[in-house]
Structure formats: structure tokens, C-alpha cells
Structure 1
Amino acid sequence: MDFDLSDEQTMIRDSVERLIQDRYGFEQRGRYRAEEPGFSPAMWSAFAELGLTAVPFAEDDGGFGGGPVETMIIMEAFGRGLVVEPYLASVVMAGGAIRHAGSAAQRAAWVPGLADGSTRLAFAFAERAMRYDPAAAAMAATPSGDGYTLTGEKSLVLHGDSADGFVVLARTGGAAGDRSGLGLFLVPADAQGLSRRGYPTQDGMRAAELTFDGVSVPADKVLGDPSGALPIVERVVDETIAALCAEAVGSMQRMHDLTIAYLKERKQFGVPIGGFQVLQHRGAEMYMALEQARSMMLYATMNASEPDAATRREAISAAKVQIGRSAKFIRESAVQLHGGVGVTMEYEVGHHMKRLAMIDLAFGDADHHLEALAENGGLAAL
């Protein structure tokens, strides 16, 4: 199997890595987080100018025509830089829902703005009682005239406090847990009856709680089948997990680099502590865990566009298990080898530790996906 990047993919990799290296140092990231939306609008514009926001969208819709590999390249670089801009929320998640479920007219209306960065959307699918199963959504979408009325709450909407609009998962029929009766709705942030409360998350990102009090959604803002959206949501979740796997690998790579550099520089008893064999062994074990994670990141990326949902989910779950285990070992080892400085706000390692912990919990932690694999007979390909 050929893992070499094409010329276009290499160009994307070189461009985004250079941008992160030049303009996304740890101190710069702190300043970006302090800006009003919780990220840097100037950096968001820089991502758009490079064409990064257009990557996943079809050329006919105004995008670059890329796929999971291009997204992997971008997200891995973002992981190294601990990027806080809403790329995952707007381009991968909300944009993915529009790519897969939107009509030609809806894509024409929304994709150009997403692709050039002028419009930012958020994916409002989670609810407090849902845990990791989108079929457990209970927020009501009641037929009203030629459209629907949304009533209920959405929780942990990533970058929902600064989004221009939302792709909302709501139930048009059935009960929580039913696989049918779910629809996706496009709702502008200024819709009457919609309120939101934003807050920072532990890993430096932003999220929001949304309340829908009789929000009217016309028929042309319904994405796809109003009672058959679950397969689309599951596909978007799988693509998002694959992107998060890439981000995690980038973050783990950075933690490993910082740790090895620290072992070479920090002296004890008059010599660098990296000269002690037991610490060398731990550094080597971190590298092995990183490469295991990288292999499963590639496996998830290759299967992210798999049309068969069962095959795709099997690969995604397997990757999430290994990514979670590797991230746990690497973040714990990095902090142990750094000592107390590893958990301070002034040092980069602690911020990677927090982000990796949040990635593990997102869309199901390693234990959740291991149980899912076991229930389905394990990873058949292995």
C-alpha cells in the first residue's frame, strides 16, 4: 500500500506546518485565546487564505475537493500547535453534515461561506443525557406549517458561542433511543427563541449551551430526510473521530519532542538526566506508543470515507482505542519526566496533556470503543 503523499497533499502539509511554526508558538497561542471569541480571527483568515477551510468541500461547491487524507494532514499540524480556532467545529463537523445531507441549493447557499472562512457554523447534536449515542437525542422538532418548531436544549456545542449558525440534531418522531425519527436543521445564531451561554473548556477551547424555545425552521433549512438523519450524523462523527486521531498524533509528537529535549537539557548530579538509562527507556517507550498511534491514525483515515457503516465504525473504534491508550501513556510519561513544571499553565506540556485528555473523552473514550469492538466480534481485519 502506498502511503506517499501526492504533490498537492505535500504542498498542503508544507504550507500548514510552516504557518504553525511561524505564527503559532506557545506564547502566541496564549494571546489568541485571550481574544474576544476565544481564538484569533486573524489566524482564521490566514487559514482561509491558505485554502484550509475549503479543503473537504467538493470543487463544484466551491471547495478544494480534498478528503480524509488532506484533513488528516491539517489536523496533525493543528495538534502540534494546539490550535484553538474552530476548524473542527465548523469545517469538519457542521461542514460535513452539509456536505453529506445538504441539497444542491443548500450547499450553494452555505458551502462558499464555509470554504472562504466568512461563515462559521457549529454542530449542535449533544444533549446531557445522550452520552455517546446520537440516537438518544430527545430534543423535539414539531411540524409547524411547512417547517418545524425546535424546543429543547443542546449541550457542549463546540465553539457554539461564536458561531454564525448551527446544524441541529432534533427528533421529529419516535422516542429517545430510536434510530428513526431524527432530522438535521440549519438554524441561524440570531433566530428568535434561541439563546446560548458560552464558556471555556479545560483544554483551551470554547463551547456553549443552547436553549431552543419555539425556534421556527422553514422547510428549506431541513437537511435531507427529516426522519432519517442518523446515518449522516454517524458518518460525520466517524469523520470527526478520524480528524481527532490526527490531531492527537500531532499533539503526542510535540509532547515527545519537548520531553526528549528536556531530558537532554535538564541536569542532575552534574549530568543531563537523559544520560540515565531508565529515562532513555521511557523516552523510547513513548516513541513506540506514538508510532502505534500513528499507524492507527492512518488506518482510521483510510476508512473514514468507507461507505459501509459497519466496516467504517470498526476501523474508527479500533483507532480510538489505540489513540486513547497511547495518549494516556505519553501524557503521563511527559509529565512524570518533566516533574512539576509539566503541569504548570506557563509550560506547553500541561496544555497538551489537557487537550489529549479531552480528545480521549470526545465521542467515546478508549474503554467505550473497546467495548463496542468486543460486542461486534473484534477487529476482523486483524
Structure 2
Amino acid sequence: MDLSFSSEQELLQDSAVKFAAKGYGFDQYRKSLAAPGQCDPAIWKQIAEFGWIALAVPEAAGGLGGSTVDVALVAEALGAGLVIEPYISGAILPAAILAAGDAAKQEATLNALATGDAQLAVAYAERGGRFNPAHCDTTATKSATGYTLSGAKHCAFNAPNATQLIVSARSAQGIELFLVPREAKGLSLQGYDVLGGGSAADLSLDVVQVGADARIGTLAALEAGLDKAAAAACAQALGGMKALLERTSAYLKTRKQFGVPIGTFQVLQHRLVDMFIEVEQSRSMVLLAAAKADSADAAERARCVSAAKAYVGKASKFVGQQAVQLHGGIGVTEELDIGHYFRQLTAFGTRYGDRDFHLNRFASLAA
């Protein structure tokens, strides 16, 4: 397998790194935290103008038709820059689900998503489901004009910012996906901010009526989309881990104790090396997951993504904890970005399935 990037991918990565380092920064991060839904509209539009959302949109629907590896390169840079705009939950995940169905049928929705004129959210989680998309008590009853949706969804990321929501519901044919307008009668949202930046909402669907054309996919499309989102989230976490390693290394070279930089203490050098090892091993797992996320073999895709999510989940926790401890008390202050990176990595641990969920899924697929 050729693991080298193409010249186009190198340019893509370079542009994303420059934006995160120079066009965003800690001041913009704090500004986005204060924005409605913790998403700055100007930054979101800029992300769209760069074509980074269009990477997940098929060429047939006016997008760039990029791979998950392309998306991962952007996500890693955004993670390193502490960017909290909902790139994965508000764009990549819904675009992947829509593209898995009839992309031409959803061309208008995908175009609005790619240009930054719309954001979407995916509502699949339910209380008691423990990250399993096949756990679905929400019902879809076929009517004369379409479908009637009833039920409740939990923690739909980016729902407060979404103009439309992709909702999973169980019909006579099994679990299906429906595109529901935010203003649909009978749909109510209880929004809230989430750890690490961003927003989510709990949904209540009280006899929500949608047309026959609102049906956009099946459980298979949801599972494929979630795997691509998980692979991108792993890349985003890798970016945060890399940033923490760089900042911690620089701090150890400048912070002095007993008249010398604490980075000269061998025990702290060992801890920094341990952080480096976890970052590099995570990089390998992220590349594997991104490369296999587009596989036509659903079992292979799920196995590789779960392996990466389980490993990076553990590694990111270790790197985050070491960075905070090596910085001391200042590592958890609001004025320093270290604690904010730590929060993002902590939130990543349960986003799109926690370590236990993915270890169990990997074990079941490897048996």
C-alpha cells in the first residue's frame, strides 16, 4: 500500500495548517465559544469557501468527491488549531450519509451544505442505546402523503445550528433515515453546549409529518457515515495531541527550576518521549482508519475504524493528562490553551462511540 500523499493532498494539508495556525488562533477560538451554537458564521463560510466541506460531496452533486483521507488531513489541521466549528458533525457526517444514497436526489441539500449556506445534524442516538445506531425506538409509520415520525433522540450534535436534521426511525422495512426540516410541526429541540466546544440537542418528535421524498437512506448508510465521521474525529484528535506535544516540549525548555530548564530532568524527558510515541502510533492508526473508511467491505471498514478509535481514545487521554501535569497548575487555567485542548480530547473519547464500544465491535468482527 502506498502511504505517501499526492501533491494535491500536500497542498490541501498545507492550506489547512496555515489557516489553523494563522487564520484562527486562540482569540478566535474564544470568540467562537461565545457565538450562538459555538460556531462563528464567518469562519464557517470560510471553511466552505476553501472547499473543505465539498470534499465529502460527490462530484455528481457539485462537490469535489474527495476521500476520507482528504477529509482527515483537514480535520487534523483543525484539531491542531483548536477549531471548534462543527466540521465533522455539521458537514462531513451528514454529507457522507446523503452521498451514500441517491446523491442526485439530494443535490440541492448537498450544494447548500458545500457552500456553507446550510448546516445539518444527524439524530440517531437514543437513551440506553450506548452508541449503537441499531438501537432505535423512534417509529416511522407510512401515511397517505409520506411518513409520520414519533419518538425521541438524545445528544444530536450540532442540532441547534442545523437547518435540517437526518433522523433515524424504525419502519416496517427496518431502520430508515429521514430528512426533517428544523421548523417541522411537532419537532422540538432542547439545545445545550457540550464539553470541548460545540452544541447538541435532545429531540422530541411528536407525530411529525414528512413527505415520501424525505426518506433518504437506511441503517447501512448511517453506519458508513458514522465510520467516516469517527475516522475524521480520530484525525482531529491527532492534531490536538500533536499540538499538546509541541507546546509541552517548548514549555519544558523554558520553565526553570533550581536554575535550569526542567526539560533537562531525565524523568520529564522520558514522559515527553512517551507522549511522542503515543502521537506517532496514533498517526499510523488514523491513516489506516481513513484509508479503510471508504472500503466497500463494511466489515473491514468497521474493524479498522474501531481499532483506531479505541487506540486513539486511550492515547489521547494519556497525552492530554501528561500535558496538563507537566505544565502544572497553569495547565488547567482558562487563559492557557492547554486545558482547552484537554477538554476537546476528553470529549473525543466518547464521540461516535467510546473505547469499550469500539473494542467490543472490533472483537465481534475479528472473531
TM over 0.5: yes
Structure 2: any 5+ residue segments left out of the alignment? Answer: none
Instruction: Please say if 1:64 is aligned against 2:57.
Output: no
Contact 1:103 1:223 (8 Å CA) reproduced: no
The C-alpha deviation readout for 1:291-323, integer Å capped at 9, x for no partner, is 010000001011101111111111111111210
Confirm whether residue 200 of structure 1 aligns to residue 193 of structure 2. yes
Q: How many percent identity over aligned positions? A: 42
* 1:225-240 equivalent positions in 2, closer than 5 A: 229-240=218-229
CA-atom RMSD, angstroms?
1.3
Match of 1:191 in 2: 184
Q: TM-score, normalised by structure 2?
A: 0.97
Please state how far the C-alpha of 1:374 moved relative to its aligned partner. 2.8
Matched, 1:221 2:214: yes
Structure 1, residues 75-119: CA drift from partner, whole Å, max 9, x if none? 0011111211121122211111110023522x2221111111111
Asked if 1 retains the 8 angstrom alpha-carbon contact of 2:69 and 2:291, the reply is: yes
Q: Is the 8 A contact 1:335 1:343 kept in 2?
A: yes
Deviations 1:143-201 (A, max 9, x none): 1113111111111111101111101111113xxxxxx6111000111111111121111
Q: 2:169 corresponds to which residue?
A: 170
Q: Is the 8 A contact 1:148 1:218 kept in 2?
A: yes
Aligned to 2:118: 119
Post-superposition shift, 1:132?
1.6
Task: Tell me the CA shift for residue 371 of structure 1.
Answer: 2.8
What is the alpha-carbon distance in structure 2 between the residues aligned to residue 38 and residue 287 of structure 1? 31
Q: Which residue of 1 aligns with 2:89?
A: 89
Distance 1:73 1:103, change over 3 A: closer
**Higher mean displacement: 70-79 or 357-366:** 357-366
Conservation of the 8 A alpha-carbon contact between 2:299 and 2:365? no
What per-residue deviation string (whole Å, max 9, x for no partner) do you get for residues 221-253 of structure 1? 1113xxxx1111111111111001100100100
Q: Secondary structure at the match of 1:217?
A: strand
Q: Given the alignment of the two structures, is residue 355 of structure 1 paired with residue 344 of structure 2, yes or no?
A: yes
Distance 2:202 2:151 in 1: 11
Query: Per-residue deviation at 1:126?
Result: 0.9
The aligned counterpart of 2:149 is 150
For residues 369 and 32 of structure 1, the distance between their equivalents in structure 2, rounded to whole angstroms, comes to 31
Question: 1:280 and 1:126, CA in 2 relative to 1: closer, same or farther beyond 3 A?
Answer: same
Structure 1 gaps of 5+ residues are 174-179
* Distance in 1 of aligned mates of 2:59 and 2:7: 18
Are residues 103 and 220 of structure 1, via their aligned partners in 2, closer, same or farther at CA, if it must alter by over 3 Å?
farther
Give, in angstroms, the shift of residue 53 of structure 1. 1.5
Which residues in structure 2 correspond to 1:227-266 (within 5 Å)? 229-266=218-255
> Is 2:285 the partner of 1:292?
no
Q: Write the letter of the residue equivalent to 1:29.
A: Y
Partner residue in 2 for 1:18: 18
Q: Which letter does structure 1 place at the counterpart of 2:175?
A: L
- Counterpart contact for 1:255–1:352, Cα < 8 Å: yes
Instruction: Tell me how far apart the structure 2 counterparts of residues 181 and 58 of structure 1 sit (CA, whole Å).
Output: 27
Mapped to 1, the partners of 2:92 and 2:13 lie a distance apart of 17
2:31 aligned partner: 31
Displacement after TM superposition at 1:36 (Å):
2.3
- Per the alignment, residue 203 of structure 2 pairs with 210
How do residues 94-113 of structure 1 correspond to structure 2 at under 5 angstroms? 94-102=94-102, 104-105=104-105, 107-113=106-112
What residue is the counterpart of 2:158 in the other structure? 159
The 1:78/1:195 distance shift into structure 2, 3 A limit, reads: same
What is the letter of the counterpart of residue 113 of structure 2? L
- Residue 165 of structure 2 aligns with an amino acid whose one-letter code is F
Q: Does the alignment pair 1:325 with 2:314?
A: yes
Mapped contact 1:161–1:206 kept (Cα < 8 A) = yes
TM-score (norm 1): 0.93
- Give the aligned length: 367
